[in-house]
Each structure stands twice: as structure tokens, then as C-alpha cells.
Structure 1
């Protein structure tokens, strides 16, 4: 795998992430589909066939949204680590976090699941990565304080901000090679937003697990 071109690797990751974003990862997904099937006791001759991909674009239950967001966080975090270790060699390659933004855009177009980086306790590489919403600002503070992730239900989305530990290479770029940051753990954040179905969900409790070091 390490001999494949970077673009091929990114394309493979996009395919995996799309699969994760558009399929259920819990029994609740099967239950939802079964309930829908049972309700259709008689064929409706006036019903129009749903366009391809419509199932992926409709909202999902809070339970499924939580599961998808967690799995996608793991996929993106692992991809970032692999790209850094095997494909990023200074100025000769695209910065992995920037390359993954192209994957984020593809996933959003295919499944309506959004993802974006936020800065936590290092200078952002782009002003686009500064925490913007109240939730993102609270998430950055929580991750900096040692929380593994923070989540919320708002505006029809389940949003999960998870910690991304930064290694020495990441810290060198963020801090500038002329500066030496203190020894405290450094993190970025990854915010994943999964659209919910229109049923009124129960708001999730804030999680307080410790971030996993890479």
C-alpha cells in the first residue's frame, strides 16, 4: 500500500468514508428499515420511486448518528496518521490535513455528513480552522482540558468534536520551527456533523473520555 500514489490512497479513504457515512453501524439501522417495511402493508400505486442515493441523504436517528460520527472520526484520524508517516515528506507532498479536506467535501456532497478541522491549543494553519460556533469554542476548551470529545444536538444535526493528538511534525508547522512550545499535549479537533431525522431526539450528554494518544 505504501507504494501507491497519494491520490490513490486518498481516493480509497474517500470510498471507505462514504461507506461509513451512508450505512448504519448499529442494530438501530436494521430496526428503522424493518419498521418502514412493516408500515408499507399495501402498495401505493401513486407513489413515485425514490431517486438513487436518497436513503443516504435523509436524516438518521440519534443512535445511528452517534455511531457513524465515532466510526468516521476513527477513520479520518487513522488516515491522517498514515498519510503523515508514509506519504508526507516536507515540501514534496500535500499536507495530509489539507488533503483530507477534499475527502470531507466529497463525503458532504454524497451523504450530507459534514466534517471540518478546528484549532484547539495551537495556532491554526488557516483562519478557516478557527472555532466559529459556540459549540466549537466550547469543544476546543474541553479538548484542551483533556476531554476526548464533546457532542451536541443542534440545528437538525448531531455534532461530535473529537480530539486529534498532534505529533512533533504537526507541532513544528503549527508553532513555527523557530519557536519551541511548552511540553503540554497539543491537539486539534475534528468536528463531524451527521444530519438527523425529523423526529425530536434526546439531547446527548457531554462525554468526558480522555483522548487517545497516537
Structure 2
């Protein structure tokens, strides 16, 4: 058989020209992480608050002989919050990324975060200091974040870590809603995808 020059995005197997797996965009990670903290909650005035979702460290090693880029796609499900007068609550999430041998930083939402959903209500109180009856519901649509990685070299590792937390900014009233405190949060889940996109081969092999 004659020796021919082909791109590294192509292969010759059994005398047939073929397309290699890494020559097309492909999902290399696609997992839905469910919330472990949905339901009623109480005072969470110390950051980072109540842990709702923790993906742990997601890792993928490039198996392409060519550099590639990875699209990180984070899809949040619909979220609900219920707070009672005069309290407040906020859902925060954050992801961190590392390329190479090191692990990503722990995604602590205390000071930096990429997404937030909040609800607060303050209708004051009566002359006895009891908060007036009042509840506030917030419903947020599903949302998506996309972020491109730098160029990833052959054999290089990309790691991602995602967390979602719930906290209640102080002060906190234990007798909210006139002594009938009602507080709940539903995060449901977050889907995390890593999609590898090939780079064009700038050389040829024989």
C-alpha cells in the first residue's frame, strides 16, 4: 500500500481513511449532580453556609495528539426560595478550574461566586417587637454558564470543581412571620459538561 500524508485528525486503518474520535467536538464529561440540601432550613449566618451541591474534582486527560480547547458548560435547574419576614436567604455557586497536575482551589463562595439567587423581606414588627405576618417566594428559571479553557496540550489534564451553598445574611429572626417561621430552598440539580473541541492540524504525518 502506498504511504500517504494525512492529518492527525484522520487515520488509516485496514487501508481505509477514517476520522479519529478527537477530530470532532465530543462530550468528555456529562454528569448531573443532585442537591443534598433541598427543603426547609434554619439559621445559616456563617459563610459559606449550608452545602447544597458538591461535584468533587472532575478530571479529564486529553487523549488527542493535537492541542484542544474544552468548553465548560454548567446548567442550573430551576430554583425556589421561601423566606419569612424579616429574614433573608441567598444561594451562591462557584466553580474553579486547574490545568496541569495541580488540583483546583476549593470553590469557597464566601467572597467570590459566579451565580447567586436571593430573597429577603422586611415588613417591620408590631409594638411588641413581633414581626408581622409575611412570606416571600422567589422562583428562578434554569440558567446556563459557558466558559472556554485555554489551549490544552496532548496528555494534559483539566480539572473542575463546583459547589453550591445556601446562607442567610444576618441578622436572623427566630420568630419570623409572627412566630411561624417558614423557610425553604430547592436547588434540584446542576448538570456539568466538558466538551472537547479539536484544533486544526498544522502539520502532516506520513
TM-score by length of 2: 0.28
Q: Larger relative contact order (C-alpha < 8 A, sep ≥ 6)?
A: 2
Q: Larger strand proportion, structure 1 or 2?
A: 2
Q: Larger helix proportion, structure 1 or 2?
A: 1
